Amino acid sequence: MIGTSYSPRHENVLDVLKSYYQLTKPRIIPLLLITTAAAMWMASEGQVDPFLLFITLLGGTLAAASAQTLNCIYDQDIDYEMVRTRKRPIPSGRVQPRHAFIFAIALGVLSFTLFALFVNLLSGFLALSGIAFYMVIYTHFLKRHSTQNIVIGGAAGSIPPLVGWTAVTGELAWPAWLLFALIFLWTPPHFWALALMIRDDYAQVNIPMLPVIVGEEKTVQQIGLYTLLVVPCSFLLIYPLGVSGVVYGTIAALLGVIFLRKAWQLYQAPTDKELAKSMFKYSILYMMLLCTGMVVDSLPVTHQAIAFLTHTGLS
């Protein structure tokens, strides 16, 4: 264990619970769940079973929490060195790695059990594959060794909509893969914008995040490239897949124009950290609202409203 020190302080139960909660990096989980829920609404054409939704989101939360806890154990040395992550429960000595490991395994087992009992095995195995990919491919093989770490590793974060889709239909289909591709292409602009802001932190611990190795200018070019890919890709749900319609299309167009504008601004000012921050924050809003658009578009009431408006307009 590099650089960690464990202090046998007497903490109350609430402090202990808070530390375990923090191990799961909880702020990221809601967006993972939003992508899962969007897939479920689309797959069920707006009529998702509330119990299935609840169990799938619970199972997804437990799986993501397990993955993040394992990552906190593996990365404790670099987390101790970086300012942003120094206060995490393991590097700050509040949780021992072996206790965190038992916690992570318990979360993973609970997640798989929920999926196996109440959803289906395919969803359970997909969630498990998310944990495995994030740990083995991203955290172990790529994070410390490749500038493409978050591009390939991004596949782990793209699995939740596959879980959501299969929870409803029991099988994978094109719309699910398109959601996977959307998140896959969205991850580089999301993460590299943040990496531009905290480049020095990553450089200090020799993590080869793109801005550290190739500099700001090439990074903003890559951000621009992926943004140029993700925006058109978002319309494929309308054509040729035909699972979303005009409401989603309008939302995707508005959100996409802003996303491209932010990428363009960053392209023109690669060292502007405020622009990078704005791009990072917007990337999260973009994915959140795009998924909301998918849900709203899938609802029967939306279809009724469109049919009514079309009918009134025609007569």
Ligand X SMILES: CC(C)=CCC/C(C)=C/CC/C(C)=C/COP(=O)(O)OP(=O)(O)O
3-class secondary structure, 148: coil
The minimum distance between CB 72 and ligand X, in angstroms, equals 7
Q: Which of 1, 17, 28, 254 binds ligand X (CB under 6 A)?
A: 28
Q: How far is CA 128 from CA 32, 122, 156, 161, 199, in A?
A: 15, 10, 10, 14, 31
DSSP string, 19-40: HHHHHT-TTTHHHHHHHHHHHH
Name, in order, each residue with C-beta under 8 angstroms of 209's C-beta and a sequence gap of 6 or more: 147, 149, 150, 192, 195, 199, 202
Asked if residue 248 binds ligand X (CB under 6 A), the reply is no
Q: Which is nearer to ligand HEM, 31 or 43 (CB)?
A: 31
x/- map, 85-124, ligand X, by CB under 6 A: x---------------------------------------
Q: How far is CA 154 from CA 51, 72, 237, in A?
A: 29, 17, 21
x/- map, 63-82, ligand X, by CB under 6 A: xx--xx--x---x-------
Which token pair is 196?
């531009």
- Which of ligand X, ligand HEM, none does residue 130 bind (CB under 5 to 8 Å by kind)? ligand X
Q: Which of 80, 112, 134, 286 binds ligand X (CB under 6 A)?
A: 134
Asked if residue 165 binds ligand HEM (CB under 6 A), the reply is no
Asked if residue 295 binds ligand X (CB under 6 A), the reply is no
Q: Which of 131, 142, 193, 197 binds ligand X (CB under 6 A)?
A: 131
How many whole angstroms separate alpha carbon 312 and alpha carbon 175? 32
Q: How long is the chain?
A: 315
The residues of the shown chain that bind ligand HEM, judged by CB under 6 A, are 27-28, 31-32, 35, 84, 138, 150, 153-154, 157, 183, 187, 190-191, 194, 284, 287
